[in-house]
Amino acid sequence: MMKRMTDVKAYLKRLELSNILREPILRSSVDSLQLPPGSKGLDAGCGTGFNTLMLAKAVGASGHVIGLDILEEFLTKGRSLAAKADLMERASFKKGDVKDLPFEDNCFDWACSIDLVGLVPIDPVFLLKELARVVKPGGRIFILIWSSQMLLPGYPLLEARLNATSFGLAPYDTKKRPELHSMRALEWFQQAGLSEPMARTFVRDINHPLNSEMLEALADLFKMRWGEDNGELSKEERVEYLRLCRDDSTDFILNIPGYYAFFTYSLFCGKVV
């Protein structure tokens, strides 16, 4: 139990930090969809609800978004964030499983899931069908997925090697069938019977100077992506990783003047028929 609480706390902290990096790119992706003002939406696998609140702002004062997650601790955090942001009217949180949504058919105008597919063991076509079940005909389903990064300018080979390790490749792994790779999501939309499938990729640029929040968030991202020493790197590669990516190293890459990096999110969308 203690271990689980610590895990949840650490995961909460990680989601908070990653939100510093993700918020602007997720907001532009959602803005591109022009969600109908006053609409009712579902954020499936909402985590701590950062995105639920961003979606709630996107639908305006007369709209409403429900964030659904399987972990009560995250929902509690979501509710407190909604209260702090004075968005209790527009956002609410419910415990449930995305595989068996606790909602009637056709009760939302749209539904989405952000950074869920690929990270948790859910068949993506099944998930899309379940989301489509609760959305009215003509409503949209969309998913947003972290799709690439370029974070170590000047070290393309090391970055390629880091990306080719099991953690670096996440949410992919070598045992996964190619059709389950997130860049195959348009096929899932077709298989789920959704119409007008479309995909678009958004970029988040990161420019020097970095404030302390960004430094912490990026250092944590390095750790999350590449920090695990599971023997997949050579000794020299591991030393080079530690030299460049550890915030206590004198050669920490984020300290180079003019540091520039980027990462991308891909948006996949389709309509319920």
Ligand X SMILES: C[S@@+](CC[C@H](N)C(=O)[O-])C[C@H]1O[C@@H](n2cnc3c(N)ncnc32)[C@H](O)[C@@H]1O
Site for ligand X contains 69 (CB under 6 A): yes
Instruction: Output the smallest distance, CB 48 to ligand X, in A.
Output: 7
Give every strand in the sheet of 91-95, ordered side by side. 91-95, 64-69, 40-44, 108-114, 135-150, 260-271, 195-207
Quick one: tokens of 32?
């591109």
Three-class SS of residue 77? helix
Length of the chain in terms of residues written: 273
Of the candidate residues 63, 74, 182, 268, the single one contacting ligand X (CB under 6 A)? 74
Instruction: Output the smallest distance, CB 68 to ligand X, in A.
Output: 6
Q: For residues 130 and 240, which CB has a smaller minimum distance to ligand X in the complex?
A: 130
Output the CA angle 179-184-188, nearest 5 degrees: 85
Q: For residues 114 and 132, which CB has a smaller minimum distance to ligand X in the complex?
A: 114
Residues 224-243 within binding reach of ligand X (CB under 6 A): none
Sign of the CA dihedral running 129, 133, 139, 145: negative
Of 54-62, 66-74, 178-186, 228-236, the window that binds ligand X (rule: CB under 6 A) is 66-74
Q: For residues 115 and 159, which CB has a smaller minimum distance to ligand X in the complex?
A: 115
Site for ligand X contains 83 (CB under 6 A): no
Site for ligand X contains 120 (CB under 6 A): yes
User: How many C-beta atoms surround the C-beta of residue 216 within 10 A?
Assistant: 15
Of the candidate residues 71, 125, 183, 224, the single one contacting ligand X (CB under 6 A)? 71
> Which of these, 98, 100, 95, 91, lies nearest to 74 by C-alpha position?
95
Of 41-49, 132-140, 174-182, 262-270, the window that binds ligand X (rule: CB under 6 A) is 41-49
Site for ligand X contains 98 (CB under 6 A): yes
Q: How far apart are CA 104 and CA 106, in angstroms?
A: 7
> Which of these, 51, 87, 83, 84, lies nearest to 68 by C-alpha position?
51
Interacting residues toward ligand X by CB under 6 A: 15, 45-47, 50-51, 69-71, 74, 97-99, 114-116, 119-120
